Amino acid sequence: MMECLIGAAGGSEEWEYHLGERCAKMVATVCDGARMTPMERQGILDTFFPKKETMGPGFSTNVHATVQHNGRLWPLNIDPGIIDECWRAALKKPLQEAKFNIQDAARRTRTRNESVLVLVSGGTCRNKALQLQVESLCRAEGLARPIFTDNTDSFEDRLTHKQVTFGPKPSTDFHGLAWLTRWHF
C-alpha cells in the first residue's frame, strides 16, 4: 500500500511577493519616497526571475536592476542578504510541514519495516537551496536522496510501468514501496 502526503504550493510566488515588497521599500528610499508602479515592480522581478533557481541561502548573488523615475534611471542593487531573507520567509512554513511529514513517514515506515521515497515536485523544486534543505531533512531521517521533478507524469514513467495515481484515488502497489511522501512546492 502506498500513501501520498501532499504539501504546499506557491513557494516561488511567495518568494517573489516578499522580494517585491522589499524592492518597493528600497525604491522609496533611493528615489526620495517614490512609489513603484506595478509595471516597475514587475520589471525588477523579471530581472530576478531567470536567476531564482540558483538563488537562496548559500547561493544568492547580487541582482542589479534599474527603476525609471522622473525621467532618470536609478540603479537598484538587491543584495544576497535580502534575497535569502525573502526566501526564508516564503519557504519557512512549507519546509516545516515537509519536515513533519518526512519525519512522520520515516517513523511510521521504520516500525513497519517498509521503504520510503520522497518525491518533491513543482517549479520551486528546481531551486538549489530548497533541494539542499529537503535532502538534509531526508538524510536526518536516514532516507534515500529525494527525487525532484516538476512533472510527476515523467516520474511515473521512469520509475514503474504500473499505473500510479498521485491524488485522491487509491494507488496500486509500487514494487514494495510502502510510503510515497510527495511534497509540492
Q: Is the same domain home to 180 and 143? A: yes
Q: Is 142 left (phi over 0), alpha (psi -120 to 50) or beta?
A: left
Q: Is the same domain home to 117 and 177? A: yes
Q: Is the same domain home to 63 and 146? A: no
48-62, 108-122, 160-174: range with lowest mean pLDDT:
160-174
How confident is the model at residue 177, as a pLDDT? 34
- Span 45-55, average pLDDT: 86
Render pLDDT for 59-79 as a digit per residue (tens, 0 to 9).
888 888 887 777 788 888 889
Residue 149 and residue 135: Cα distance in Å, rounded?
14
Q: Is the same domain home to 112 and 142? A: yes
- In this prediction, what percent of the chain has a pLDDT beyond 90? 16
Q: Is the same domain home to 68 and 116? A: no
pTM of the predicted model as reported, rounded to 2 decimal places: 0.75
Decide which of 17 and 163 is more confident.
17
Q: Which domain holds residue 72?
A: 11-86
172 has a pLDDT exceeding 70: no
Tell me phi and psi for residue 166, to 5 degrees: -100, 110
Give the end of a domain, one of 86, 115, 149. 86
* Residue that the C-alpha cell 487509491 belongs to: 170
Render pLDDT for 101-156 as a digit per residue (tens, 0 to 9).
888 888 877 777 667 778 887 778 888 999 999 999 999 998 888 888 876 555 55
CATH number, domain of 81, equals 3.90.640
Give the end of a domain, one of 52, 86, 120. 86
